Amino acid sequence: MNQAFVIEHYTASDGRRLALRRYIPPAEARAHVVVLHGIISHSGWYDTSCHALAELGFDLHALDRRGSGLNGDSPGDVDSPQRWIDDVVGYLDGLRASGRPIFLLGISWGGKLAPAVARARPDLLAGMGLLCPGIYANQQPGLVQRSALRLSDWLGLNRSTVRIPLQEPELFTDAPQWQAYIRQDPLTLRRITLRFARADLQLTMQTRSSAAFLHLPTLLVLAGRDRIVDNARTRRFFAKLAAADKTMLEYSCAAHTLEFESDAAPYIADLAAWMLHRTTASLDEIKNSR
C-alpha cells in the first residue's frame, strides 16, 4: 500500500471523536471526495484508489465508521441508523466552507449509507457514487431473523454480539494476496452488536424507499462476478432514481471489491473521469449563481 495519507479526527454531534484517512492532492484540490467503507472493511482497504484520485487533484477523506477501523472503541456498535447519517452529514457540513464541490462515494455497505445521507442533505453534494452498493445483498435477514432482532430489543440484549456472516475473503476478491490481507487484517470487523444489526436493517429499509427523493448526479458501479450484491435488484433500484444524470458502469469479470482486482486502473480512471466532468459542471453552476 502507498501509505500516502494523514490520520485526522473530527468531533461528531454527540461529542464522539472519529478518525479518517486524508489523502491530500499535490496541488490545489479540484473537489472533495468523501469515502464510506463496507460493513467489515475500513478506510485502509481503499488506499490504492484514494491515493490515485488524490494524485489527480481530488482531496480524499476516507472516513472510518464509528466502531470500525481506526475507531476501535465500542467495536461494531451504534445506537441508531440516524447516528451513522449524522456522523457523515456533520463531516460534509464542515467541508462546505471551502466552496469546492463535494462527492460522496459509498462502497459496499457504505453504498447503503450514502443514499440516506444524500436524501437528508442533498445541498451538500455535487454527486454520489454507489460502488457495488449493499442496498440489495444476497445475504439478508429473513423473517425469523428479523423477528429475533425485534425480540432482542424487547429483551434488552442491545450489547450482545453476533458474527458478521461475510467472513470469507473469497467473497470479496479472487486475488490470493488480497484474500490473505483480509484474513490477517487486525482492523477488519468480525462481530457486531444486536442493536447494530437492528440499525442496519432499518437503514436498509430507509435507503430502499429513497429512490424517488434522490436527484443528485449518481454513478452506479457493479462487478459482474459479485457474490455479495444482488446486481439485478440493484439495477432496478437505480432505474427508479429521480436523478436526471445517471451513469451505470459494470466490470463483467470483476469480483465485489474492485480495489482488489489485478488491474484496478480502469475502474479508478472511470471513477475519476466521472467526477471530473461533474466537478466542472458544479463549478460552472457556482459561478453562474454569483
- What string of DSSP letters covers 22-90? EE--SSS-SEEEEEE--SS--GGGGHHHHHHHHHTTEEEEEEPPTTSTT--SSTT--S-HHHHHHHHHH
pTM of the model: 0.92
Distance CA 190, CA 41 (A): 9
What pLDDT, on a 0 to 100 scale, did the predictor assign at position 221? 98
Q: What's the pLDDT tens digit per position in 13-66?
A: 999 999 999 999 999 999 999 999 999 999 999 999 999 999 999 999 999 999
**Is the predicted pLDDT of residue 284 greater than 80, yes or no?**
no
Question: In which band, very low, low, confident or very high, does the pLDDT at 180 lie, cut at 50, 70 and 90?
Answer: very high
Distance CA 266, CA 49 (A): 11
Q: What's the pLDDT tens digit per position in 222-239?
A: 999 999 999 999 999 999
Place of cell 462515494: 105
Distance CA 188, CA 23 (A): 21
Comparing CA positions, the residue from 45, 60, 32, 17 lying closest to residue 187 is 45
Burial 37-62 (b: 16+ CB within 10 A, else e): bbbbbbbbbbbbbbbbbbbbbbbbbb
Q: How many CB atoms lie within 10 A of CB 195?
A: 19
Please list, in sequence order, all residues whose beta carbon lies within 8 angstroms of the beta carbon of residue 25, skipping any fewer than 6 positions away. 54, 55, 56, 57, 58, 59
Mean pLDDT across the chain, nearest whole number? 91
